[in-house]
Every structure is written in C-alpha cells, then in structure tokens.
C-alpha cells in the first residue's frame, strides 16, 4: 500500500539523525512523475524535480521539510462528465531523497529515499500530523442518496478494492465491477458506476478486497417528478470526485457590473459628404458647426459584464449526508450539471453551514447558492 500525501494539508519529511561533526546542511531532492512508481519517465508531462537545502538549528542533527505545496502544484483536476478522465492527473508519484552534506556539498553517509502517492485531499486538525490512513470507498459516509435516472457513481481506492457489487432492493445482484492495481498513478482512483437506475432500485453496494467484504454502503433512490434535478460534482477531502443531487426548487439570477464615464458628444465642426446631383459631380461637401446628437450617450457605459448564480435546494435528506455537505463547503473544485446535462464550473458563495439533524430539525433541507465561475460576456483572452 502506498503512503498518501494529501496535498492540501502539510506533509513533513524528517531527515534521519546525523551525528557527523562536519554536518553543514541537509539536501532534499523531490521528483514528481506519472506512470508506475518503479519507473520514472522523464518525458512524462507530469515529470518535475526540485532540490532544497536547509541547515539544522543549533546542535540538532536533523531537519523537517514541508513538501505539500510543491507537490500540489502538479496535480490537475479535470471534470468533463467522464469520470475516468478525472483520474488522469489527480494522483501523482513523489520520490523524496534526503542526504546530509558538508559545507562543500560532499555527501555524508548514505541517501534515504522514499516514494509516496500524492492526491489533492486534506486532513482534519484532529487527524494530527502526516495522517495517511487510506479510505476504501473514497467518501466520508456509508450512505448515499441518488437520483432515479441518473448514473450512480462511487469513487473507490483500487489499492484496497478488488470488487464492487450493486444489489437492488429485492436482494438481487445486478452488477459486479472488478479491479486490479496495476501501479499506474492514473488508475489509483476508480469510479464504479451503475447506469440503469431507472430500471433497478439499487439500495446496497458491497465492496471487497480479495474475498473479504470490507465496506457496505447503503443507498436511497429518489424520484423527483416536479422540479428539474441538478447535480453538483465536487472534489472531496480524499481527492476524489463526488456527486450530490439537489432535487427541489432552483432559482437562477444575474448580477451585472459596469463602469461609466462622461463622454464628449459636442462637435464644434462636422463635415458631411453627400451624393452630388450629377454623375460628374459625385460628392457634395457641407459643413455644420456647434451641434450634438440628442440620441447619443453623454454618459457612456463600458466594461459591462455579468455573473450568473443559481440557488439549489436538496429536498429532504438524511443527516448521514452531512459529511458530504461539510466537504462541499471547503472544496476548491465544484461543477454543476443541470437538468439539460450542461456542465458549468461554479463556486460556492455561501460562507456558513448549519448542521441539521433529524432530532433537532426533523426534516432536513439544505439551500446553497452557487456562482458560475465565468463571466456572461466572454472575456477570455
């Protein structure tokens, strides 16, 4: 199993203790690459190298490096509606080599080399330093609500999953997805999908490693007959794409912005060129003085643009969904798929979230406000 670097949280590399009296500094070499962990391809577009140096404090014989921000720059999040494409650059290999050095750069002792798998997730404060526990299904709860007629998608960790089984409400096995770990970075996160949700009421997913059942996820299929259903796809805390369905009322709005200046429309002299009366006299020039048009804009608008927003409502959901909404609040990558299958990058405008429970609130509905992550008038240059 790989040791995971979740790049949105610090990940510290501590060098081995060195007692040599000639110790001057420590050097750390970082290599980032794709493909397999055992084979570094320099022509790979993920390939990058860094070399850092750090002196120990006082009489200490080792130092710490935080490499998470460097590594995070090389992870790319892609969502086009095809979930397999999202795995292409969402995981990368990181090889870290540390060595003690004398002042002239001479290496002291042997090098220490370790290889990690980096993903753009994060750890919580309570997890502590360098929390590397891997999930099985790459979600934070064992309960999912999904839309009848939409594709049911569950991200899984292929290092801990070999088989996913979908069961319908009568207990019949409807689909089995098998996985094997090829050690390729672009297959570490896989998306197990069930398409025929309009035909089968899938209410349970069993996840296996080998022949051992390691996780059970309970599901609820929801049919919405009145409102268009919107889907939010976001990057969750484990670095995987996850879906949330908003079943009830949605409201779209437009917020415009512009600048103004006072334009000069006065013309002290205007020359008019008009057709002449005869072919041999094609043009007739006349001159006018001290005038302006009463239909011209004396106050001119420029840089006018607008941003579209949409307010979504979940409908009544189970409190077991709360971890997903918590992660949505702090996600840096969110996409909206509307009822017409159009995909838009969006940003969550809400800055607060109140946890609701069945005990306190009985029926739980969440309302969230999203802003499309682009201007209405195309200004991409």
Q: What is the pLDDT of residue 275?
A: 76
How would residue 45 be classed by pLDDT, with cut points 50, 70 and 90? confident
How would residue 59 be classed by pLDDT, with cut points 50, 70 and 90? confident
Residues of the chain with CATH 2.30.110: 226-266+298-381
Q: Identify the architecture of domain 226-266+298-381 in CATH.
A: Roll (2.30)
Q: What is the pLDDT of residue 41?
A: 81
Q: What is the pLDDT of residue 29?
A: 97
How would residue 271 be classed by pLDDT, with cut points 50, 70 and 90? confident
What is the average per-residue pLDDT within 360-369?
Answer: 91
Q: What is the pLDDT of residue 143?
A: 97
pTM value is 0.91
* Residues 234, 324: Cα–Cα separation, whole Å: 10
CATH class of the 4-127 domain in this structure:
mainly beta
What pLDDT, in 10s, does the model give residues 110-157? 999 999 999 999 999 999 999 988 899 999 999 999 999 999 999 999
Fold of 136-223: Immunoglobulin-like (2.60.40)
User: Which tops the pLDDT comparison, 280 or 264?
Assistant: 264
Q: What is the pLDDT of residue 198?
A: 95
Q: What is the pLDDT of residue 281?
A: 67
Residues of the chain with CATH 2.60.40.10: 136-223
Q: What is the pLDDT of residue 280?
A: 64
């Amino acid at each position: 199993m790989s040791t995971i670097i979740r790049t949105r949280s610090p990940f510290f590399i501590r060098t081995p203790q060195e007692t040599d009296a000639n110790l001057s500094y420590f050097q750390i070499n970082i290599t980032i690459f794709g493909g397999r962990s055992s084979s570094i391809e320099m022509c790979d577009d993920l390939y990058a190298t860094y070399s850092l140096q750090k002196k120990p404090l006082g009489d200490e014989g080792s130092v710490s490096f935080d490499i998470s921000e460097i590594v995070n720059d090389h992870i790319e999040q892609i969502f086009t509606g095809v979930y397999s494409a999202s795995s292409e650059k969402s995981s990368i290999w990181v090889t870290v080599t540390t060595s003690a050095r004398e002042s002239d750069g001479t290496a002291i002792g042997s090098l220490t080399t370790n290889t990690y798998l980096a993903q753009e997730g994060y750890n919580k404060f309570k997890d502590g330093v360098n929390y590397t526990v891997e999930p099985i299904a790459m979600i934070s709860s064992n309960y999912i609500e999904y839309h009848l007629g939409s594709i049911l998608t569950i991200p899984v960790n292929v290092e801990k999953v070999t088989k996913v089984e979908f069961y319908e409400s009568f207990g019949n096995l409807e689909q089995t997805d098998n996985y094997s770990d090829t050690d390729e970075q672009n297959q570490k996160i896989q998306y197990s999908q069930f398409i025929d949700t309009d035909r089968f009421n899938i209410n349970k997913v069993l996840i296996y490693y080998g022949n051992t059942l390691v996780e059970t996820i309970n599901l609820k299929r929801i049919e919405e007959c009145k409102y268009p259903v919107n889907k939010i796809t976001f990057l969750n805390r484990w670095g995987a794409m996850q879906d949330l369905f908003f079943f009830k009322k949605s409201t779209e709005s437009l917020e415009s912005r512009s600048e103004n200046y006072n334009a000069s429309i006065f013309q002290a002299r205007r020359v008019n060129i008009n057709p002449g009366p005869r072919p041999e006299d094609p043009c007739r020039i006349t001159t006018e003085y001290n005038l302006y048009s009463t239909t011209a804009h004396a106050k001119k608008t420029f840089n006018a643009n607008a941003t579209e927003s949409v307010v979504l409502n979940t409908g009544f959901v189970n409190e077991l969904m709360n971890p997903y909404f918590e992660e949505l609040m702090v996600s840096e990558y969110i996409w909206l798929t509307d009822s017409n299958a159009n995909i838009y990058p969006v940003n969550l405008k809400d800055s607060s979230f109140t946890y609701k429970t069945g005990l306190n609130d009985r029926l739980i509905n969440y309302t969230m406000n999203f802003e499309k992550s682009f201007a209405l008038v195309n200004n991409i240059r």
